[in-house]
Structure 1
């Protein structure tokens, strides 16, 4: 499965944000979420700040180095903002980040934390983060989430994050090819890697996405691994440092 046009991912990002928006608009933002010390307000504040950072990185790249890097502090400051103000900031920021990513070439680079990224990568990154923090909110409220085909973009980041996973765990980077075979929400088959690879991961796309975003432990998923390196990957899988 190859990379997807970022413009299509942006459509999915809009839908992901709208789904979370509809949920949080109906509930108390002081509700604690699974992230230690973070309420729903903290989750929304974090997403709003991250969107603002993307816009700043694209439109004023020379000033990006001054962006605050302490996510807990930024989330706490945002969470103290009146709810209606924070909600409007998040809504307008979501629209701005999509507009900014649509304005530039997919391959155009801009600064990000510790690296340079492109619109083609940032689009699924924003989708992944919106989905992952949204999962915290769904879990906090005890609301069952219906998985969608948007998970394909999160899964793609999980697959491409294999090297990062081993690096972050301070383990040798496997050189052998891997095969990842996932079942999408509607029963569709999503696969990455050579079909004859000895190292293999299988399971539902939702479980894989929950695992690589650290929203579920490996034991809480139905994912299976064939091969020692694949087995280790499921233990250390991640999509962010």
Structure 2
């Protein structure tokens, strides 16, 4: 069984890895564009730091979390971008220090949540372990954006299991957020970890299946790759459609990734 401490340890490693890539950058490199929408390296780190701060406010019941909820309701398509831009405007050294301190405070606060208590969030309330898992997923995804823009080779590790887990658990949400009706069909998911282990979800006798690389499924679930460009395979029409809409993160539908050949 995965514990909160297990997840927080993986989150620390993912965060430190990204920090090692961005800390040596000069101002021009911090302005490197990382996404089609124009987010820079600074936006990526700023977004992670801001989300840690929002998570800490939620865990500690700080009134600022309620204000954030109001801002999200008033500007559902832009409040995340606005926050990223605000944090990206900070000097790089200041941004890094705030991100480093913020994620340490969040880890401490998550460990202090009473047993059985849920943490409020922009979506459904979450357990501390689920919130930490979501932070791993976000850090993993945004690290890939930064690494690809800087031409850094991303090591494949079993930490992507956290991303895969959320991607599978949020299958119903992927339909809901797109105004589609989820089919009443179970899907068995069997993914091969970078270590060679096999991770499974869903009934073994389910009528439809998803198999392949865990790392690649995580790229799909974070909307970083098109289904044609990954080693992930579906058996059954519902499983195949799910791979086109799978989404591990909360909020509105993510952009449909372009095929690598079309980029």
For Structure 1 versus Structure 2, the TM-score category normalised by the shorter chain is: over 0.9
Counterpart contact for 1:12–1:127, Cα < 8 Å? yes
- Gaps in structure 2 of 5+ consecutive residues: 73-78, 252-263
- Gaps in structure 1 of 5+ consecutive residues: none
Of 14-23 and 172-181, more deviation after overlay is shown by 172-181
TM-score w.r.t. the length of structure 1 is 0.95
Counting matched residue pairs gives: 239
Higher relative contact order (CA 8 A, sep 6+): 1
Question: What SS is found at the alignment partner of 1:180?
Answer: strand
Q: Which residue of 2 aligns with 1:49?
A: 50
Spell out, residue by residue over 1:197-240, the C-alpha distance to the aligned partner (whole angstroms, 9 max, x if none). 11100110011000010011111112110011101100111012
Question: 1: CA distance between counterparts of 2:109 and 2:22?
Answer: 25
The reply to whether residue 124 of structure 1 matches residue 133 of structure 2 is yes
Q: 1:206 aligns with which of 198, 215, 219?
A: 215
- 4+ residue segments displaced more than 2 Å: 60-63
Question: What SS is found at the alignment partner of 1:20?
Answer: helix
Counterpart contact for 2:57–2:63, Cα < 8 Å? no
Shift of 1:94: 1.2
Counterpart contact for 2:161–2:193, Cα < 8 Å? yes
Question: 2: CA distance between counterparts of 1:52 and 1:221?
Answer: 33
Q: Aligned pair in 2 of structure 1 residues 114, 186: CA closer, same or farther (>3 Å)?
A: closer
TM-score w.r.t. the length of structure 2 is 0.87
Question: What SS is found at the alignment partner of 1:224?
Answer: strand
Q: Which residue of 2 aligns with 1:91?
A: 100
Q: Which residue of 2 aligns with 1:163?
A: 172
The reply to whether residue 37 of structure 1 matches residue 38 of structure 2 is yes
Counterpart contact for 1:107–1:120, Cα < 8 Å? no
RMSD of the TM alignment (CA)?
1.4
